[in-house]
Structure 1
Amino acid sequence: MAQWQQEHEAKRRIEALVFEHRCELEDDGLDPDEIDRRCVEFRSQLNTTAAAPPAVVDEVSQPLPRLLEQLLSPDDRAAVERAAVVCRRRYPRLNGEGDVTGSVAHAITYLHRDGYFGRDHGPLLKKITDAMARDWRGPPLTVRCVEHHVYTEGGGLILEDHRDIGSSLSLSVLLSDEYAGGAFTTTSEAGVVLTHAPRVGDGVLFASETVHNVSTIESGERRALVIELWTGPATTHDRSR
Structure 2
Amino acid sequence: QGRRGKKQQRPQTAKGLCPAGNALAELAAVMASPAFTGYLETLTGLVPAAAGWVQVRCFRPGLDYERPSCTQKAQLDVVLCLSAKPEAPASKRQVKPLPHSLDLGGGEGYTDADPEDVNVELRAPEAAGLLGGLAGLPPALPVLVRLPLVHNTLQLVLRDSQTAHYVEPLASSSPDPRWEIRLTMPVEDLTDDESSEAETDAAQQEVHAAWYRAHRLMFPAEAQRTHVVHIERLLSDSEISELMSEVRRLQQQRLCGQAVRMEGTKQGRCSTYLHTNGVFQNRLGRLSDKLRRTIFKLDAANWKLLQGRAKKDLTFRTVEYHEYMPGGQLTSQGHYDSGSLLTLDVMLSDSSKDFHGGALSLPEANGSATTPPMKKGDAVLFVSHKYHNVTPVTAGKRTVLVLELWEGPPRTCAHRCTIMEPCDYTLDMSLSEAAGGT
TM-score (norm 2): 0.41
Q: Answer 1 or 2: which has greater helix percent.
A: 1
Amino acid at match of 1:161: G
Residue 202 of structure 1: aligned partner: 378
Change (3 A) 1:160 1:151: same
Counterparts of 1:128 and 1:105, CA distance in 2:
27
Change (3 A) 1:216 1:48: closer
Residue 397 of structure 2: aligned partner: 221
Counterparts of 1:49 and 1:115, CA distance in 2:
27
Amino acid at match of 1:64: H
Aligned-residue sequence identity (percent) comes to 32
Deviation per residue, 1:190-222 (Å, 9 max, x gap): 333111111100001111001111111111111
Counterparts of 1:184 and 1:119, CA distance in 2:
29
TM-score (norm 1): 0.71
Equivalent of 2:411, from 211, 231, 235? 235
Contact 1:55–1:138 (8 Å) recurs in 2: no
Measured on the aligned residues, the alpha-carbon RMSD in Å equals 2.8
Counterparts of 1:64 and 1:128, CA distance in 2:
19
Contact 1:83–1:117 (8 Å) recurs in 2: no
Change (3 A) 1:211 1:49: closer
* Pairing of 1:13-52 with structure 2 (within 5 A): 19-20=191-192, 51-52=214-215
Amino acid at match of 1:225: L
Equivalent of 2:307, from 108, 113, 137? 137
Q: Please tell me whether residue 106 in structure 1 is matched to residue 254 in structure 2.
A: no
Residue 152 of structure 1: aligned partner: 325
Residue 366 of structure 2: aligned partner: 190
Matched position secondary structure for 2:337:
coil
Structure 1 residue 121: deviation in Å? 1.0
Matched position secondary structure for 1:154:
coil
Contact 1:182–1:222 (8 Å) recurs in 2: yes
Structure 1 residue 74: deviation in Å? 1.2
Q: Which segments of 5 or more consecutive residues in structure 2 lack a partner in the other structure?
A: 1-190, 194-209, 220-225, 301-305, 418-422, 424-438
Q: Please tell me whether residue 75 in structure 1 is matched to residue 75 in structure 2.
A: no
* Pairing of 1:53-68 with structure 2 (within 5 A): 53-54=216-217, 64-68=227-231
Q: Please tell me whether residue 175 in structure 1 is matched to residue 348 in structure 2.
A: yes
Structure 1 residue 51: deviation in Å? 2.1
Q: Which segments of 5 or more consecutive residues in structure 1 lack a partner in the other structure?
A: 1-18, 22-46, 57-62
Residue 282 of structure 2: aligned partner: 119
Query: Which structure has the bigger radius of gyration?
Result: 2
Counterparts of 1:186 and 1:55, CA distance in 2:
16
Contact 1:87–1:109 (8 Å) recurs in 2: no
Counterparts of 1:71 and 1:107, CA distance in 2:
24
Change (3 A) 1:49 1:233: farther
Counterparts of 2:383 and 2:212, CA distance in 1:
18
Matched position secondary structure for 1:162:
coil
Q: Relative CO higher for 1 or 2, CA cutoff 8 Å, sep ≥ 6?
A: 1
Counterparts of 1:48 and 1:186, CA distance in 2:
24
Aligned positions, number: 192
Change (3 A) 1:180 1:138: farther
